[in-house]
Structure 1
Amino acid sequence: MELVHVQIEGPVATLTLNRPEKRNALSGALVTALRQKLTAVADHAEVRVVVLTGAGKVFSAGADLAELARLQTATTEENLADSERLAALFRQLAYYPKPVIARLNGHAIAGGCGLAVACDFAIAAAGSKLGFTEVRIGFVPAIVATFVLRRVGETVARDLLLRGRLIEAEEAVRLGLIHQVVPGEALDATVQALARELATETSPSAVAMTRRLLADLPGLSLDAALAYATRVNALARGTADCKAGIRAFLEKQDPPWRKPGD
């Protein structure tokens, strides 16, 4: 059984975490498989957007606690290697060249919620619960905290990370943790509509450059951020997509990334 199932339909690749019997817990093997699938899809020229979801009724319950229990007897170096594997996945998502939509088909808890927050967009089915429960079992939400702070700021992050409470998807939207909650029966149509928009209305190179800009800017001082943004601005003007997009706009034609029939 594939730990991560990939389905490609036109410009959209759907990656499904496929451990429903374990509530799609993030074992080392699953993390490695997801990284490999993301790499393969990144190299797929026709794919413009990635949708990340879970098999069964849960998006992901976070870390595989049985695996963590076994690692309690591991060396510091072995635990560090396991942590670095997870951190590498989150870094891969941050610098991924294509937009990623988290399709939350159910609960997203602890590392599973962090995975959703690391995506560009997160759309949840009504009834889903989200939260970072690590402190309630004596664990620390260390890696996910990096992304939670960027998404919601320190005040909300302290509330979520220190209390370890679960919240309804509607509250997660109000807090800015995720983007949208819809009835379960509308989840697929909502995700597909956003994926189609991203795939047909935006430039591939501009999106890739903008994603990297958004990943790098928060850690820079104002002067460093402006200097970095200035370089990106100048580089963007020389890309083929920028030249084609401006030409298409002035000539009142569709840009090349909008295929006939879109």
Structure 2
Amino acid sequence: MNQPTVLRNNQGPVVILTLNRPYRRNALSRDLVAELSDHLTKIEAEHGTRAVVLTGAAPVFCAGMDLKESILAGETEESEKQAIADIQGIADLVDQLHHLSKPTIAAINGDAFAGGAGLAVACDFAIAAEHARIGYPEVRRGLVAAVVMYDLVRQVGERRARSLLLTGEPISAAEAERWGLINRVVDRASCLAQAVELGVSLMASGPKAVATTKRLLDEANGRPANLRGPAAVTAAVRVSEEAEEGMRAFVYKRQPLWNWSRDRIAEE
């Protein structure tokens, strides 16, 4: 029997959801995205659940979209349609985190990159282990981080967002805290426990008041109703020749050659 790609653990009124693909650095496969979305849908309807903690199975939080899964799909019209659907699935998942009526807390137990960083930053709170790094390396793969860009710019400002998005260089948890990207840095052994403790502390507030406050904060910050537009931009780039080369270079651990043609990629 296959192991679930997302594990659920109830800690009283706090639910812990663990991304469970450690052998792939908890990369966002189609199955994982679908399972996590299903969990969030169920949690939204549960009156007894008051907060959600999102974390990753060791050693990282999440490496982002599963590029190997994308590459193995090949170069067909159907694979391009699937690639577009994959991007839309991740965008819808970020939307779910944005609009969930329960408070969400990211327990960043290790590196959070690309879409993984997007999930963490989409949460209401973020607690990071001291060794964790946060980064948006999409441009180094010939991709764009349009789906997660809004949250990033809103939280750290344009100048710092440009640094992260245009260089693709990660920053340490300590730097992320200074920039306002996360709430606090803790030692790795207590990261999850402190996230759960924060979730429990939110029980002192009225659940309807919390849900309404979350909605009003979204309105005050001008958060878009959905991420369909950014997803369309990301998908258009994702199916480009440049992105195919960038992803293959990453998967096969070599430097990308940006002037490659699709014919040469197919010969690899």
TM-score range, shorter chain: 0.7 to 0.9
- Which residue of 1 is the match for residue 24 of structure 2? 22
1:210 pairs with 2:204: no
CA distance in 2, matches of 1:159, 1:50: 30
2:51 maps to a residue whose letter is V
TM-score, normalisation: structure 1: 0.80
CA distance in 2, matches of 1:13, 1:158: 34
Equivalent residue for 1:189, pick from 189, 193, 202:
193
- Which residue of 2 is the match for residue 253 of structure 1? none
**SS at structure 2 position matched to 1:61:** coil
1:59 pairs with 2:73: no
CA distance in 1, matches of 2:105, 2:177: 15
Check the 8 A contact 2:18/2:57 in 1, yes or no.
yes
**SS at structure 2 position matched to 1:219:** coil
1:179 pairs with 2:183: yes
1:161 maps to a residue whose letter is L
- Which residue of 1 is the match for residue 70 of structure 2? 68
CA distance in 1, matches of 2:41, 2:184: 27
| TM superposition shift of 1:72 | 5.9
| TM superposition shift of 1:82 | 1.8
- Which residue of 1 is the match for residue 130 of structure 2? 126
| TM superposition shift of 1:73 | 1.9
TM-score, normalisation: structure 2: 0.78
Residues 31-70 of structure 1: matches in 2 within 5 Å? Answer: 31-70=33-72
CA distance in 1, matches of 2:183, 2:213: 19
Offset from partner CA, 1:184-215 (integer Å, 9 cap, x none): 1232332222111112x111001111111222
CA distance in 1, matches of 2:85, 2:219: 25
| TM superposition shift of 1:21 | 0.6
Unmatched 5+ stretches in structure 1: 221-262
CA distance in 2, matches of 1:211, 1:72: 41
Change (3 A) 1:139 1:186: same
Check the 8 A contact 1:60/1:108 in 2, yes or no.
yes
Unmatched 5+ stretches in structure 2: 224-268
CA distance in 1, matches of 2:121, 2:14: 20
1:103 pairs with 2:110: no
- Which residue of 2 is the match for residue 8 of structure 1? 10
Equivalent residue for 2:163, pick from 152, 159, 164:
159
CA distance in 1, matches of 2:162, 2:185: 23
2:210 maps to a residue whose letter is V
**SS at structure 2 position matched to 1:6:** strand
For this pair of structures, how many residues does the alignment match? 219
Equivalent residue for 2:145, pick from 141, 147, 167:
141
Higher normalized contact order (CA 8 Å, seq sep 6+, divided by chain length) = 2
Check the 8 A contact 1:94/1:212 in 2, yes or no.
no
Equivalent residue for 1:79, pick from 80, 83, 95:
83
CA distance in 2, matches of 1:185, 1:86: 29
CA distance in 1, matches of 2:21, 2:76: 24
| TM superposition shift of 1:27 | 0.9
